[in-house]
């Protein structure tokens, strides 16, 4: 069984560090690839530009996507990924601080698999990441993404 890679798309260095720390504390040993803006995430996921070699830049099994990103926002990233055959079934979890109902509705309308609001409390955040890891990396079954 291949180890599932995680792509974390997060522009806030503090949230990135907290998420990586939570993975470590929850003993989630999967490789985490970090991209800090929507344009770079799209290039990586669609295998464009410097990310065209899939041996060097393999597809993740799971994407954790923030909504408020520079260059291309998370909703546009989600829309573009769902419009591509090769990323249509890729599990995409919105991991955001947004409490806007319209963001929740739009995310599901565009095809996200889950929407998680980042808890402000550290212990609650750790528990959310632990549960996310257990479900999406151990329990949930997803098709292997292959390049077309």
* Residues 72, 70: Cα–Cα separation, whole Å: 6
**Distance separating the N- and C-terminal Cα atoms of the chain:** 22
Give tens-digit pLDDT for 58-94: 999 999 999 999 999 999 999 999 999 989 999 999 9
3-state DSSP percent of the chain in helix, strand and coil, to 5 = 45, 15, 45
- Reported as a pLDDT band with limits 50, 70 and 90, residue 148 is very low
Which listed CATH number (1.10.10.10, 2.120.10.30, 3.20.20.70, 3.40.50.2300) goes with 6-137?
3.40.50.2300
Q: Count of residues for the chain?
A: 148
Domain ranges of the chain: 6-137
58: which DSSP letter? P
* Residues 127, 115: Cα–Cα separation, whole Å: 15
Give tens-digit pLDDT for 13-51: 999 998 999 888 888 888 999 999 999 999 999 999 999
* Residues 71, 38: Cα–Cα separation, whole Å: 6
**Tokens (6 digits) for 88:** 């249509």
């Amino acid at each position: 069984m291949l180890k599932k890679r995680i792509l974390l798309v997060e522009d806030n260095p503090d949230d990135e560090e907290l998420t990586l720390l939570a993975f470590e504390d929850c003993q989630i040993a999967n490789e985490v690839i970090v991209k800090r803006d929507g344009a770079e995430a799209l290039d990586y996921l669609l295998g464009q530009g410097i990310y065209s070699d899939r041996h060097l830049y393999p597809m993740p099994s799971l994407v954790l996507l923030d909504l408020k990103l520079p260059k291309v926002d998370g909703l546009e990233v989600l829309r573009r990924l769902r419009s591509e055959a090769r990323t249509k079934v890729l599990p995409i979890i919105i991991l955001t601080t947004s409490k806007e109902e319209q963001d929740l509705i739009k995310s599901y309308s565009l095809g996200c698999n889950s929407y998680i609001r980042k808890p402000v409390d550290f212990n609650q955040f750790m528990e959310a990441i632990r549960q996310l890891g257990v479900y999406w990396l151990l329990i949930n079954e997803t098709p292997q993404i292959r390049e077309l």
